[in-house]
Amino acid sequence: MKAGRIGLVAVVLVAAAGAGGVFGFLIFSETAAIRITTPETYIETTAAVRGSLTGGQFRTERLQVALTESANGTATGVTGTAASYATGYVVFNKNSCLPSNYCPPAPAQPGYEVCRVNPAGGAQCYVLQSAVTCYCGDRVAVRARGPGSIFNAPANSVNYVGWINPYVTVDNPGPITGGANASSSPVVQQSDLDSVRIAVSSQLTADLQSALRQKAQNLHYVADAAPALTVSSDVNAGANSSTFQVTVSGTLGGTAFADPDAKALIASALVEKVPAGYQLTGPEQIADYQIQTSDPQGDVTVTGRASGYVMPRVSVTSLQSRLRGLDSGAARRFIETVAPGSAVEIRLAPAPAPWLPLNADHITILVVARPTAA
Tell me the per-residue pLDDT of 25-73, one tens digit each, with 9 for 90 and over.
456 689 999 999 998 889 999 999 999 999 999 999 999 999 999 999 9
Within-domain flag for 356: no
Contact 244, 234 (CB under 8 A): yes
Supply the pTM of this predicted model: 0.62
**Cβ-based neighbours of 238, under 8 Å, separated by 6 or more:** 187, 188, 189
How far is Cα 291 from Cα 285, in angstroms, rounded to an integer?
17
Query: Do 156 and 122 share a structural domain?
Result: yes
Query: Do 220 and 168 share a structural domain?
Result: no
- Between the alpha carbon of residue 133 and those of residues 94, 95, 115, 137, the distances in Å are 12, 16, 19, 10
Q: Per the structure, how many domains does the chain have? A: 2
Residue 216: the pLDDT is 96
Residue 19: the pLDDT is 43
Which one of 257, 278, 312 terminates a domain?
257
**Cβ-based neighbours of 352, under 8 Å, separated by 6 or more:** none
Residue 8: the pLDDT is 42
Query: Do 119 and 69 share a structural domain?
Result: no
Within-domain flag for 220: yes
Query: Do 212 and 129 share a structural domain?
Result: no
Residue 23, pLDDT > 60, answer: no
Residue 372: the pLDDT is 66
Within-domain flag for 11: no
Residue-averaged pLDDT of the chain: 88
Residue 13, pLDDT > 70, answer: no
If residue 264 lies in a helix (H) or strand (E), which one and from where to where?
Answer: helix 259-271
What confidence tens digit (pLDDT) does each residue in 154-193 have? 999 999 987 767 778 899 999 999 999 999 999 999 999 9
Q: Cis peptide before 350, with omega less than 30 degrees from 0?
A: yes
Query: Do 92 and 71 share a structural domain?
Result: no
Percentage, residues of the chain above pLDDT 90: 71
How far is Cα 304 from Cα 261, in angstroms, rounded to an integer?
13
Residue 102: the pLDDT is 61
**Cβ-based neighbours of 95, under 8 Å, separated by 6 or more:** 166, 167, 168, 169
How far is Cα 68 from Cα 230, in angstroms, rounded to an integer?
9
What confidence tens digit (pLDDT) does each residue in 278-309 have? 999 889 999 999 999 999 999 999 999 999 99
Which tops the pLDDT comparison, 212 or 12?
Answer: 212
**Cβ-based neighbours of 65, under 8 Å, separated by 6 or more:** 208, 211, 212, 215, 251, 252
Contact 121, 198 (CB under 8 A): no
Within-domain flag for 311: no
What confidence tens digit (pLDDT) does each residue in 313-328 have? 889 999 999 999 999 9
Contact 255, 243 (CB under 8 A): no
Query: Do 89 and 233 share a structural domain?
Result: no
363-370/58-59 β-pairing? unpaired
Within-domain flag for 240: yes
Query: Do 138 and 225 share a structural domain?
Result: no
285-294/243-257 β-pairing? unpaired
For range 126-130, the mean pLDDT: 95
- Identify the domain containing residue 221 by its residue range: 62-77+193-257
Q: Residue 143: what are its φ and ψ, rounded to 5°? A: -135, 140
Query: Do 208 and 67 share a structural domain?
Result: yes
Categorize the per-residue pLDDT at 353 as very low, low, confident or very high, splitting at 50, 70 and 90.
confident
Residue 17, pLDDT > 70, answer: no
Within-domain flag for 323: no
Within-domain flag for 305: no
